[in-house]
Every structure is written in structure tokens, then in C-alpha cells.
Homo-oligomer: A and B are copies of this chain.
């Protein structure tokens, strides 16, 4: 068994595709981990902004979280309809392109690609940050840890959808299970204590209020911070194809379960924060703990269960980047099928998935992690925008879709339309409230990405245009090419080249560039004896020896000039350049030989034209 097989799995035949489809249980960790783990930071992100309100902030959190939940429910119903209508995968890109046109599709595509790359980077670094805040001596290795997790995720995903699901089921259910238990027990205790339970561990007091009323601006900012909890919803609808038949039913079921759990988690944490009077702590405080950490210790105390729960939170966060890995390759494939991205994204790798999408995601995420030294807090504001832009376009597209569909779809249209309006408003809120703190970067990146995609499309269109309707084979003018053989000296390598030349043409020019140096003996000494004599004996056509004096010791330049001159002088003939090349046994041996042949090959390719063909004549030592 080869190493590659054991790391990436054995190659799967194209016919084995059906076996790779997943069920609902595997679909939840693969597509849902991003959404589910947002329960671990969404409410805290919102409450952190309410700290200046002191104790009152806890109460304000309830309506904010409720409105986010309402939005989530609206989006849920809207996306259920999308899955039904697009059983082959209805990501925002597909839906927007088909119903709103190419431009809207590209907008969604650019927004989503950026969103996924940021999701991967932020997910990994958030997980690592959780680990390093628990084990501070690992902090100096933050970047290394991030990159290790990135590579691990890439490898797991390269093993295929099924293996990924299997690997992630346990961490996901541990995360969900422990949190649900905390909420269940916490709610029971709260009710038993008449709404005022006693925490099992010392809780920090809320900061004194520095603000009396919640301004509208702060409310909007709180709302848009909390919306980070929604970015994972898109993934399922784009990944319908990964599910086992009946696909739409399984995908819808997975989506329903994900959203249901998310709602319970969000509601539960907010309710417990309220009954236990726990406020988010200032992240810069020296004794900072996350809201979740406070809640778990309030309900269960700091026993083994606390560490089990927090450990599973850390693990799930680190793995939440997987949603990006699951969906990014499907997205880039869909875009590449429309010629807007390189076609490699449509190729299926050894495990039947679009491996190049995973490579690209890994690469970009790696670059971001390295650029930011693995600390990507500042990127969080950037990625909600991409998600909400995609949501809005997708749902607006669905409205048009239902309009075109035969039959009465008023209710469908209403659901999707309501979703579009709700996410559209949210998009505006997020964009405005976060513009200064980083959203402008997304606002710049999206159009740049669209420009690139349009450039790619132009390129493919040109090629398709040039390549369309290939003519039948033309057998006219099949004459022997003019052969050029650059020859520094006569040896076994150049003999091989000359022999090949004699096979393919009677018209051969052997070109020797004389470097005007004592070490260069020229070819005149051997030409008559070793080359012409045997040819005359066999009564074969003699090649012509061309000697070029290069007084500045340049070799490539004079050769290129000669070849181009020859080409100009023979406008109707093909020129075939034979390049004798020494192939060494070890790569380092290449340093011991001039790389002139490689350079000449490159120049002939770059400055050549349709009539120049290059032949490598390898000589193996």
C-alpha cells in the first residue's frame, strides 16, 4: 500500500460515485458545523457591544437575539424552497445566474468565495485561539498550529465527502450534546429556582453602566455582530448533490435539523445569560472568559464536565472551517463550468471531488493566516457581508424563478421575497455599521474578483471562438521541415540529434556559434572526417554547416537571430529545431551543466510562431 493511498485514500473509480453520497447524519457535521458553532460566539459578539449598558445590557440582548432568530427562520424557509426547486444544487451563484443574469451571479460568486476563504481562516484561528487561551504556553506557536489544522482539514477533505463526514460526526455531536445538556439543566434549574438560580461558580459582576439608553446605532451594530451566527446556511443548498437519494428530502432534513439545533442553542444561551445575570466580559480584561465558559461553569461548576464541554467547543470551532472546505470546491466548479474560473476546478480528483478547489482554498487560507500571523479577529466583520449579499441575491433570484415557473406559486414567491427583503435590509445594516471597521475591504475585493472572472471568461471565449468547428484534417503541403541543429561540439549527444534530423528531413542546417574564445575549437576539424565522409559513403544528402562568430560570447541571441532569419527567408516552410539535451540522474547535477538548452527552448516557445517546432533529443547518462 502506497503512502499516498494511506494518506489520501485509494483512488475511487468514476463508477463508485453513488457510494460516496452521504446521509443526513453525515450531512450535519459536513455542512452544518459553521452554522452550529456560531452559537458559541454569535450571542457573545452581540452582548460585548452591550457592555457599556451594564446590567441592563443583559436584558437588551433578548430582543436582539430574538430578531436574529426571526431572520434565521425566514432564511430557513426560503432556502428549503430553494433546495426543492434546485435538486442538483442551488447555491446563490446558480440561482442568481439563472434568474437574475450573469452579473448578479458573478456578484454572488465573488461574495461567496471571499466569504468561504474568510470563514476557513477565521474558523481555524478562532479554534486555535480557544486552545491557546486555555494553554498559554502554546501561544508562540499560533501560526504553526493554524497551518497544521489547515493542512489536516485539507487532507481529510481530499479523502472525500464520506470520510470527512465520518471524521466529523463525533466532535459535532459531542459539541451539540454537551451544550444541549448545559441548556437543559440550566433551564430546569432556572425554572426550579423561580427564575433566579444560583451560579455554581463565582461570576464576574457586570461593569458599571457608562451609558443609559441603547441608541439605535448601537442596536444596529449589535444586531449585525450577532448575524455572524447565520453564515453557514448557504452551504447545504449548494451541496444537495452530495446527499443520497432522495436528495432534496435528505438535504432539507439536514438543513432543518441544523437550524433547529442552532435556534435551541441561541435561545438557550441567551435565556441562561438572563436568568443567571451573566454579561459578556471585556475581551481585553486580564481575567477574560468567554460567555460560554461562564455559562457552563454557572450551571455545572468547574468540574470535569466543564472541561469536556469547553474542549468540545474548542474542537468544533477549529473544525468549523470545514464548511468552507465542503462548499468552496462545489462553488468554484459551478463558476468554472460557466468559464469564469480556470477549468481545472471542474476536474474530479482521485476521491471524486473537485480537488483543485480544495487546493485553492487551502492556499488562499494559508496566505491569509500567514499574513495575519494566525490572528484573524479583524477579519470577522468582513465575512458577514459576503454571506448576506449571497443570501439576498439567491432569494431574489428565487422570486424570479417562481414567476417563470408554470402554475401558481404566490406563496413560494412570498416566502422567498420576504427572505430577500429581510436579508437585504440586514445586508445594508451590516454594510453601514461595519464599513469603517473593515467591510470596505470586502467592498473592494468583490469588484476586483469580478474583474478577474470576466477576464478569464474573455480568454476562454477567445479560445472557444478560435477552436470551434475544427476542420477535417488537411493533407495539403505536407513537406519536410527545415531542420536546425545547434551544435557546440561533436559528441554522442549531437550525433543522436543529427541522426534524428536525417530521418525527418533532407534539409539540415547544423549551426555552430563560435564564442571567439580559445576554448572553442569549432566544428571544422571534425566536419569533413566524422560527418560528411560517412554520409557520402551512403550517398545521402549532406547537411550544411553554419558557423556564426559571436564576438561578445553570447550564444542564445545569435542562434535565435539565425532561426528567425531562416524562418523569414523561407515563408512557406516549417522550421524544426532539434535540441540535444543531457538528462542527468540527480536533480543537483543540472547545476553542473549549462542551462542554455532550457533557455533556448523557452525563448523559442515565447518568441516563436506557428511554423517553429522544437524537438528535445534527450541523452541519458
Q: A interface vs B, CB < 8 Å?
A: 11-15, 342-344, 346-350, 456, 459-460, 462-463, 466-467, 470-475, 478-481, 490-493, 495-496, 498-500, 502-504, 515-517, 519, 526, 529-531, 533-535, 537-538, 540, 551-554, 574, 581-583, 589, 591-594, 601, 605-606, 608-610, 612-621
Question: Does B342 contact A472, Cβ atoms closer than 8 Å?
Answer: no
Question: Does A492 contact B467, Cβ atoms closer than 8 Å?
Answer: yes
Question: Does B592 contact A530, Cβ atoms closer than 8 Å?
Answer: no
**Given A553-B14, A605-B583, A616-B613, A467:B491 Cβ within 8 A:** yes
Question: Does A552 contact B13, Cβ atoms closer than 8 Å?
Answer: yes
A-B contact pairs, 22 of them (CB 8 A): A13-B516, A14-B515, A15-B516, A342-B593, A343-B593, A346-B519, A347-B594, A349-B553, A350-B553, A350-B554, A473-B495, A475-B502, A475-B537, A475-B538, A478-B503, A480-B503, A481-B503, A500-B613, A504-B504, A601-B616, A613-B618, A616-B616
**Given A474-B534, A492-B470, A592-B342, A614:B613 Cβ within 8 A:** no
Nearest to A495 among chain B residues (CB) is B473
State the Cβ distance, A459 to closest chain B Cβ, in Å. Answer: 6
State the Cβ distance, A378 to closest chain B Cβ, in Å. Answer: 25
Question: Does A618 contact B594, Cβ atoms closer than 8 Å?
Answer: no
Bound: A369/B608 CA distance, A: 41
A479 to chain B: which residues have CB within 8 Å?
503
Residue from the set A490, A503, A554 with the largest chain B CB neighbour count within 10 Å: A503
Q: Which of B12, B463, B502, B619 contacts A552 (CB 8 A)?
A: B12
Question: Does A13 contact B551, Cβ atoms closer than 8 Å?
Answer: yes
Question: Does B492 contact A466, Cβ atoms closer than 8 Å?
Answer: yes
A499 to chain B: which residues have CB within 8 Å?
473-475, 478
**Given A466-B621, A551-B14, A621-B462, A472:B616 Cβ within 8 A:** no
Bound: A609/B498 CA distance, A: 17
State the Cβ distance, A325 to closest chain B Cβ, in Å. Answer: 20
A609 to chain B: which residues have CB within 8 Å?
620
Nearest to A619 among chain B residues (CB) is B610
Question: Does B491 contact A473, Cβ atoms closer than 8 Å?
Answer: no
A15 to chain B: which residues have CB within 8 Å?
516, 551
A583 to chain B: which residues have CB within 8 Å?
605-606, 608
A456 to chain B: which residues have CB within 8 Å?
592
A478 to chain B: which residues have CB within 8 Å?
499, 502-503
Question: Does A605 contact B610, Cβ atoms closer than 8 Å?
Answer: no
A591 to chain B: which residues have CB within 8 Å?
342
A612 to chain B: which residues have CB within 8 Å?
618
State the Cβ distance, A134 to closest chain B Cβ, in Å. Answer: 34
Question: Does A470 contact B490, Cβ atoms closer than 8 Å?
Answer: yes
**Given A15-B516, A474-B495, A616-B615, A592:B500 Cβ within 8 A:** no
Question: Does A535 contact B475, Cβ atoms closer than 8 Å?
Answer: yes
Question: Does A459 contact B592, Cβ atoms closer than 8 Å?
Answer: yes
Question: Does A472 contact B615, Cβ atoms closer than 8 Å?
Answer: no
- 7 A-B pairs closest in CB distance: A13-B551, A11-B552, A472-B530, A14-B516, A504-B504, A475-B538, A470-B491
Question: Does A617 contact B613, Cβ atoms closer than 8 Å?
Answer: yes
